[in-house]
Chains A and B, each alone.
Chain A
Amino acid sequence: MGQLFAVEIIYRGVFQKTLAKNITRGIVLAAHYEGKPGISFGRYGDSPERNGIPAKSFAIVASDDLTLQLGMAHYEPTQVDVTVVLDDTLCKGMESWAWGGLHGVNQAVKPDGTLIVTSLEGPEALLQMIHRREKPYKLGIVKAIASFSGMWIYKDDHTDVRILGAIAKALPELMSIESVEKYINTKLKSSLKATSARTAYERFGAIEIEPGRGNAEVPFRFELPKWEEMPEGVSIKGQPQGAPYADPVTGNVGGFRPARNDKFKKGTTRTTRPVVNFETCTKCTLCWLNCPDGSFDVAPDGTYDPDLETCCGCGICEAVCPVENCITMVNEAEFHDNNSQWLSFKKDKAGYLQWLKTNIHPIEQRSYGFRYRGQYAEQAPAALEIAKKG
């Protein structure tokens, strides 16, 4: 058997679908200049046509056709040489759209393999999100604002070629930077992009992550039921009704918390989360009524508290909220737990309001991706500065 290489791209549905495909195609085509056959594919069981949903693309390259077949015989590689995470908020783990539990982004990386993340953060911040594992691996960062596009548009911000350059550095046996440049010059016909790839190649470095380093949370998993345990008729048991709950300060019981499915959490679809100012909330009900996922609890005092395990971060609540700065969508990377905001507000009102004032409301850049026409043009100068710094 010859050599077999696998690269996995973890990306966000719709926003990064084209980007992920461009990277895996680039890998296969660049490696092919070195006489290696390869294939590129998106994980078919994903649902990449849903906004923000975590999904995977793969490139498999081999030294020869027979070895490639060995790699193709699996539905998806479970061991990869390189995992690329195209949005750092994915470092909290990914849930497949079809109830697979939570999977750490470093789960498939081989012991000597590399995890590459596009992020503005440093390794320490990322390791607060990336789950611990027993085997060591390497972590490298490509400094960038996560590149988000839409279903019909592609933001050509050089993320694709910068990642290719980084992979060539992390795994030169797969493809050399010269092959990457040849691919870019020949197929993409852009010497500027070739320069971007070369720069990323030169700047990229990865650090060793020892076993046990990282987020201590044990990723949520469950056993899939056997066929005779599943309800018949392609049916799913509904959840029991929810119930009122107690105010931790006054002890008053009130409000309503719906019962939620304990297996389908959906939280990792989120790139931004709603942060609520319970002081200015007028209890108008609009967020609660409009939330497509029923993610709001009615708190005992009548305000609305988002359940962050089920919230997918769509931002509809922010859009319908009539009070300025009452609901604010904030980059998910700012947070390290899914705890109830209302509870922390109740326990320490002054502290919560101060946190809102110092940490939340100064944030101008609340989202990335295309939310309105012209947004990319506005982002371009800042992105360029980041890229220059490397």
Chain B
Amino acid sequence: MATLTLPVEQQKPPVEQEALITGAEAIAVACKLANVDVVTAYPIRPYDTVMQYMSQLVADGELDCEFIVAESENSQFEIVKQASTCGARTFCGSSGIGWMYAMEVLTVAPALRVPLVALVGNRALDDPGAFGVEHNDALAVRDLGWLLTWVDSGQEALDTALIAYRVAEDRRIFVPLAISCDGAFLTHSQSLVKVPSAEQVKKFLPKYNRGDLLLHPDNVISVAPQANEDWVMEIRRQNYGVTEKAVDVIREVYADFERIFGRKYGNPFFEEFMTEDAEVVLFGMGTLSIPVKVAIRKLREQGKKIGFVRLRWFRPFAGKEIAKALERFSAIGVIDRDLSLGSPDLSGVVATELRSAMYSNASTRPPVIGFIGGLGGREVTIPDVEKMAEIVFQAAAGKTQPLTQWIGLRG
């Protein structure tokens, strides 16, 4: 029998390709590489560009999956929820009020332990009807057991989508995970993204194995019964256990990602920028990182010791690590592209969470100033960042500042 010998080119390690794609398209590319089984779509800006791209992949024969256009977001998420219990790797997503319309399903999915991966193209919640980015849509599920991550580039979107499947489908986790991409700034702007090869992805991402929880005639289980007070607390404790483990699992997966793809993200939970000798830092999520970084470079040229910490994972909120990293600064300014109306100090969600993490984990009490900015897709400008930096330096110098301040507001 003749021995089959591959041509020399095919024996070489697979090489990454480069593509000029939007953040939403980068997620679609990751879904193709992850070879998803069931995709559900319903149109709403800005997330839906991902579905245009997915349908193109299906039409071109590049991806073999069930592509279902549901009649609402509620059905869209219901379908993937059910498919996931049957062992299918799924993808869906939404934005703003669309995401909220799916809320009934978003609420039950964590307890059912379905590793959905969803894209939230962050969008302001109506009213008024607006397309621009705000983070309150994805944050609405923050207490429900979803894992939530924010990315700030096309590359990070693609990589995080692969990481997302690996984390969510880890048997220790099995909860839904949403990747947030800022509407317009990331969903609609194209950048050069390195696309890994299918072979690399295969090494990194094993098949979704639902194991003992598979809904199948050969594994007879009944899912989601009615229960009284004798049972609910134990079920909640199980989901609590997932969030306990999530930090370790995410760390493991990033280490593996780095080993296989060679791209380094450092600390998975947050990115530090010019923090080594910084006196004060700004803190925030998503694409506002870009004007913030530009402004910080400018401020550095003026000799001002300021850095930036960008939060990647909001859930789990790695409170201990974040507090340890931030306790060395003399003041912190948190930029929230969201609101937590009526919260302590009337701050945004991230500032409130960070204060809580610092209170229980940090050995110092640097002032944490909350900034509300960039709502409804308004640009966070370089002068805005300079102004915030000034306020944070004032706080560091011991001058009391209002705990929450609006930035970029007319009037």
Contacts and interface: CB of A to CB of B under 8 A. Distances in A.
Interface of A: 44-45, 47, 75, 96-100, 224-228, 230-239
A98 B227 contact: yes
B93 to A, nearest CB: 23
B69 to A, nearest CB: 28
A236 B224 CA distance: 8
A236 B222 contact: yes
A237 B213 CA distance: 9
B238 A227 contact: yes
26 contacts: A45-B228, A75-B229, A96-B228, A98-B226, A98-B230, A98-B231, A225-B234, A226-B234, A227-B234, A228-B238, A228-B241, A230-B231, A231-B213, A232-B213, A232-B238, A233-B85, A234-B111, A234-B112, A234-B224, A235-B213, A235-B221, A235-B222, A236-B223, A236-B225, A238-B220, A239-B220
Contact of B238 (A47, A100, A230): A230
Given A233-B112, A233-B223, A237-B221, A45 B234 contact: no
Interface string B93-117: 0000000000000000001111000
A245 B228 CA distance: 36
B410 interface: no
Contacts of A233: 85, 111-114, 174, 213, 223
Nearest to B213: A233
Nearest to A45: B228
A226 B241 CA distance: 14
A238 B222 contact: yes
A234 B220 contact: no
Contacts of B213: 231-233, 235
Contacts of A238: 220-222
Contacts of A230: 231, 234-235, 238
Given A45-B228, A100-B230, A231 B212 contact: yes
Contact of B174 (A47, A96, A232, A239): A232
B341 to A, nearest CB: 32
Contact of A234 (B225, B228, B233): B225
B237 interface: yes
Contact of B229 (A45, A228, A231): A45
A234 B235 contact: yes
A96 B355 CA distance: 45
Contacts of B113: 232-234
The 10 closest A-B pairs by CB, nearest first: A238-B220, A227-B234, A233-B113, A98-B228, A227-B237, A45-B228, A235-B221, A233-B213, A236-B222, A235-B223
A118 to B, nearest CB: 27
Contacts of A44: 229
Contacts of A232: 113, 174, 213, 238
B234 A237 contact: no
Contacts of B228: 45, 47, 96-98
B80 to A, nearest CB: 15
B271 to A, nearest CB: 33
Of the listed residues A96, A226, A235, the one surrounded by the most CB atoms of chain B closer than 10 A to its CB is A235
A7 B332 CA distance: 60
Interface in B64-94: 85
Contacts of B235: 227, 230, 234
A310 to B, nearest CB: 16
A45 B230 contact: yes
Given A45-B229, A228-B241, A236-B223, 8 more contacts: A44-B229, A99-B230, A224-B230, A227-B237, A233-B85, A233-B174, A234-B111, A234-B112
